[in-house]
């Protein structure tokens, strides 16, 4: 039987489990050096999010390792025998690489990362940050940014995947853009990541949404089923919303929702569509329909959507539906706009409101 | 589009003076804020399964987000609850990176990285961590927030993205699994 009320906390109980929990709580905080962490934080502040570094690095390493392995399997070393000196062998290998035919479908070489399972590094823009980047004040990190600039300049490496990022972190976004453009010319996972990062760089640092859109379009043209395609489609949708292209948002979101993988972010897509209908197209009834579809999501999007469903029905003059929507909203355990919803409900329930409609 | 501020209406703010100083660009205030909340964030991340070798990256990213969006933080929100949300995102991210790294290792035939806690065998933390690793994500989150972070069911529900009743149900099963893993099932059930 599941108890309906909060049970006593384990750490407050007597006995070995209570003691274990109390001891563990202390040990979880052991070894944490706030001063050292602050120094690292200062060095880090103002940088691009870590995913800007790690994901391209991983992609680059994967691409490099794959190309090495492919080279290994194509190596005709067994036929050359032990007489061939290593240097001569490498010359032969280089010569062969220039004339080598494309790998046959039955090649024993391992699959390149582009054919990898859709284990998308979903950290790319799936968290709160990417959606919020546009609203973040640009000077928020100013107090901490100075040490970073010095630090990142010093840390510029010769590794291609990291170079693109180090340019941006050192403030040379244009060079970073050129670097990503060069990387995007390949046909591997690195190119996929480069195109995605290129779009983000143009959108967030260079302030060129059209160019960002062009990078995302190129991604979808070259890698329609790529590892990051869902993320790219959603980023494109967000960009179109910011650019105020309402009809394109609706078309792109229809396409996204029609994809099996699109259901993963269906609530967010319906929420964006609701915003477009509410603000760009001034169609509150359609907005209410979209918000209602998004409201089934349990998180913050669902909460906002449930509240805006009531607001939209109210704007559309549908008092009954608005009342029902606010009623449903007030029953949500995670309702963030309780007071506002109650005020709207009271206003809608008053006789004057009833007569008015 | 959702702005960070729209989700930050949880409860009372802990220290409005400190927050106001941070927003105004006072470096000393940033440092104070970091000093207060760093141990909370780092310990919470550990309980969520972030390994010690991933902890620096995860906590730094949490504070980058915190500093970046603090000016949009509304006074009626509780900073600690927001911090928990940021930590949750980072813990998920760390887990995905770990899965990605494992996949890479499998592709290229290398040995998989060994997950280690960097704590002595048999310490309370090590025992608790092993028991927590036996829980699924939802149960683990609820158990950690309730038992170790001291949050109420009403505070946990929005963080776990479920109704309060579900929080209690998850906690019930989480405690069963947790106690079984510790080998003290009977003690907790009694």
At B125-151, the pLDDT tens digits run 888 888 998 899 899 999 999 999 888
B71 vs A: CB within 8 A: yes
d(CA A148, CA A46): 7
Question: Inter-chain contact B65–A128, Cβ cutoff 8 Å?
Answer: yes
Contact check, Cβ <8 Å, B42/A32: yes
- CA-to-CA distance for A29 and A37, rounded, in angstroms? 13
- How many other CB atoms sit within 10 Å of the CB of residue A96? 13
Taking CB atoms and an 8 Å cutoff, what residues of chain A touch B27? 143-144
Q: Are A164 and A194 in contact (CB under 8 A)?
A: yes
* Contact check, Cβ <8 Å, A300/B2: yes
Residues A353, A347: contact at Cβ < 8 Å?
A: yes
C-alpha distance from B68 to closest chain A C-alpha (Å):
5
Does B102 contact chain A (CB < 8 Å)? no
**CA-CA-CA-CA dihedral for B68, B69, B75, B78, to nearest 10:** -90
pLDDT at res. B74: 63
User: Contact A32/B39, CB-based, under 8 Å?
Assistant: yes
Q: Is the dihedral of CA A170, A172, A177, A182 positive or negative?
A: negative
User: Cβ of B97 under 8 Å from any chain A Cβ?
Assistant: yes
d(Cα B93, Cα B101) in Å, to the nearest integer?
12
Query: Residue B3, exposed/middle/buried by CB under 10 A (0-12, 13-18, 19+)?
Result: middle
User: Using CB atoms, which residue from A10, A69, A127 is nearest to B89?
Assistant: A127
Task: Give which of A22, A28, A51, A133 to mutate to test B binding, by max B Cβ within 10 Å.
Answer: A28
CA distances from B79 to A26, A285, A331, B56, B90 (A): 22, 36, 25, 21, 17
Cβ-Cβ contacts under 8 Å for A232 (sequence gap 6 or more): A195, A196, A199, A216, A219, A220, A226
- Nearest by CB to A24, from B64, B128, B169: name it: B128
Candidate from A26-35, A218-227, A233-242 with smallest mean pLDDT: A26-35
- Distance between CA A351 and CA A292 in Å, rounded? 26
The whole-number pLDDT of residue A168 equals 81
Chain B: give the shortest CA distance to residue A130, in Å.
11
Residue contact B124–A20, C-beta within 8 A? yes
Residue A355 has pLDDT above 80, yes or no: no
Inter-chain touch A4–B168, beta carbons under 8 Å? yes
pLDDT tier at A274, thresholds 50, 70, 90: very high
pLDDT-based confidence at B7, cuts 50/70/90?
A: very low
CA–CA gap between residue A236 and residue A231 (Å, rounded): 8
- The closest of A253, A177, A192 to A222, measured between CA atoms, is A192
Percent of chain B at pLDDT above 70? 78
Q: Do B69 and A140 touch (CB under 8 A)?
A: yes
In terms of average pLDDT, the best of A111-120, A131-140, B175-184 is B175-184
Q: To the nearest 10°, the Cα dihedral for A160, A161, A167, A168?
A: 160
Residues of chain B with C-beta less than 8 angstroms from the C-beta of A140: 67-71
Percent of chain A scored above 70 by pLDDT?
66
Q: Which residues of A261-271 are buried (b: 16+ CB within 10 A; e: fewer)?
A: ebeebbbbbbb
Structure tokens given for B65: 């987000």
Terminal C-alpha separation, chain B: 49
Q: What is the mean pLDDT of chain A?
A: 71
Contact A231, A199 (CB under 8 A): no
The pLDDT of residue A111: 36
Look at A2 and B184 and tell me if their CB atoms are within 8 Å: no
**CA quadruple B169, B173, B178, B182: dihedral, nearest 10:** 140
> Quick check: A112 pLDDT over 60?
no
Furthest CA-CA distance within chain A: 100
The pLDDT tens digits of the residues spanning A86-108 come to: 333 333 344 333 333 333 333 33
Please give the angle made by the CA atoms of A21, B80 and B56, to the nearest 5 degrees: 75
Please report residues of B whose CB lies closer than 8 A to that of A37: 34, 38, 42, 56, 59-60
Residue A183: name the closest of A162, A204, A214 by CA.
A162
Do A37 and B154 lie within an 8 Å CB cutoff?
no
Per DSSP, the three-state class of A325 is helix
pLDDT at residue number A189: 77
Structural contact between residues A326 and A345, judged by C-beta atoms closer than 8 angstroms:
yes
Q: How many A-B residue pairs are in contact by the CB < 8 A criterion? A: 199
B130 shares contact with chain A (CB less than 8 Å): no
Q: Which residue has the higher pLDDT, A340 or A57?
A: A340
- A 10 A CB-CB count for A179 gives 24
What's the 3-state SS for chain B?
Answer: CCCHHHHCCCCCCCCHHHHHHHHCCCHHHHHHHHHHHHHHHHHHHHHCCCCHHHHHHHHHHHHHHHHHHHHHCCCCCCHHHHHHHHHHHHHHHHHHHHHHHHHHHHHCCCCCCCCCCCCCCCCHHHHHHHHHCCCCHHHHHHHHHHHHCCCCHHHHHHHHCCCHHHHHHHHHHHHHHHHHHHCCHHHHHC
Q: What is the average pLDDT across B91-104?
A: 81
Q: In this predicted structure, what is the pLDDT of residue B111?
A: 54
CB contact under 8 A, B7 and A20: no
Across the interface, whether the CB atoms of B168 and A6 are under 8 A apart is answered yes
Closest to A144 (Cβ–Cβ): which among B30, B108, B165? B30
Q: Residue B149: closest CA among chain A residues belongs to which residue?
A: A25
Instruction: Name the minimum distance, in Å, from the CA of B45 to any CA of chain A.
Output: 10
Q: ipTM greater than 0.90, yes or no?
A: no
Helix (H) or strand (E) holding A78: helix A77-80
Give, rounded to a whole angstrom, the gap between the first and last alpha carbons of chain A. 49
What pLDDT sits at residue B65? 85
B34 vs A contacts (CB less than 8 Å): 34, 37-38, 41
Alpha carbons A31 and B39: distance in angstroms, whole number = 10
A25 contacts in B (CB within 8 Å)?
148
pLDDT of residue B87: 93
User: Cβ contacts (< 8 Å) between A242 and chain B: which residues?
Assistant: 1
Residue with tokens 């007569």: A355
Residues of chain A contacting B188 with CB distance shorter than 8 Å: 10, 17
Cross-chain Cβ contact A37/B42 below 8 Å: yes
Structure tokens at B160: 């776990």
Q: Which residues of A touch B61 (CB under 8 A)?
A: 49-50
């Amino acid at each position: 039987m599941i108890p309906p009320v909060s049970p006593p906390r384990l750490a407050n109980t007597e006995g070995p489990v209570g003691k274990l929990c109390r001891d563990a709580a202390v040990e979880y905080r052991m070894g944490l050096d706030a001063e050292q962490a602050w120094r690292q934080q200062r060095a880090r502040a103002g940088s691009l999010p870590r995913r800007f570094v790690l994901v391209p690095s991983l992609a680059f390493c994967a691409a490099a390792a794959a190309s090495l392995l492919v080279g290994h399997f194509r190596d005709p070393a067994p036929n050359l025998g032990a007489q061939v000196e290593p240097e001569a062998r490498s010359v032969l290998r280089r010569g062969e690489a220039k004339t080598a035919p494309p790998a046959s479908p039955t090649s024993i070489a391992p699959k390149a990362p582009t054919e990898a399972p859709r284990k998308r590094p979903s950290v790319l823009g799936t968290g709160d940050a990417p959606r919020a980047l546009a609203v973040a004040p640009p000077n928020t990190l100013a107090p901490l940014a100075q040490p970073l600039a010095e630090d990142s300049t010093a840390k510029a490496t010769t590794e291609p995947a990291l170079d693109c990022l180090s340019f941006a972190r050192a403030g040379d976004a244009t060079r970073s853009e050129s670097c990503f453009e060069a990387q995007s010319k390949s046909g591997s996972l690195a190119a996929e990541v480069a195109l995605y990062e290129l779009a983000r760089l143009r959108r967030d640092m260079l302030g060129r949404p059209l160019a960002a859109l062009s990078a995302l379009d190129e991604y979808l043209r070259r890698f329609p089923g790529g590892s990051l395609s869902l993320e790219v489609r959603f980023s494109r949708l967000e960009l179109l919303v910011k650019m105020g292209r309402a009809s394109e948002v609706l078309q792109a979101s229809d396409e996204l929702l029609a994809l099996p993988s699109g259901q993963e972010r269906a609530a967010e897509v319906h929420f964006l569509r609701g915003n477009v209908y509410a603000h760009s197209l001034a169609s509150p009834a359609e907005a209410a329909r979209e918000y209602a579809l998004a409201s089934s999501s349990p998180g913050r999007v669902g909460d906002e959507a449930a509240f805006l469903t009531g607001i939209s029905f109210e704007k559309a003059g549908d008092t009954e539906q608005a009342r029902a929507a606010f009623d449903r909203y007030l029953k949500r355990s995670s309702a963030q706009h309780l007071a506002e919803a109650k005020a709207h409900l009271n206003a809608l329930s008053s006789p004057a409101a009833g007569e008015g409609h | 589009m959702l702005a960070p501020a729209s989700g930050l209406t949880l409860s009372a703010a802990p220290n409005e003076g400190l927050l106001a100083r941070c927003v105004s660009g006072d470096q000393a205030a940033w440092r104070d804020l970091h000093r207060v909340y760093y141990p909370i964030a780092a310990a919470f991340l550990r309980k969520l399964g972030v390994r010690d070798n991933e902890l620096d990256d995860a906590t730094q990213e949490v504070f980058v987000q915190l500093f970046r969006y603090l000016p949009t933080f509304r006074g009626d929100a509780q900073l600690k609850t927001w911090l928990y949300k940021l930590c949750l995102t980072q813990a998920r991210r760390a887990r995905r990176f770990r899965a990605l790294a494992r996949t890479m290792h499998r592709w290229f035939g290398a040995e998989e990285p060994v997950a280690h806690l960097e704590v002595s065998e048999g310490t309370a933390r090590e025992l608790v961590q092993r028991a927590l690793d036996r829980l699924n994500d939802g149960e683990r989150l609820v158990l950690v927030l309730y038992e170790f972070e001291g949050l109420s069911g009403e505070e946990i529900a929005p963080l776990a993205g479920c109704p309060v009743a579900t929080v209690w149900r998850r906690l019930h099963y989480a405690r069963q699994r947790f106690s079984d893993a510790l080998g003290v099932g009977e003690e907790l059930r009694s």
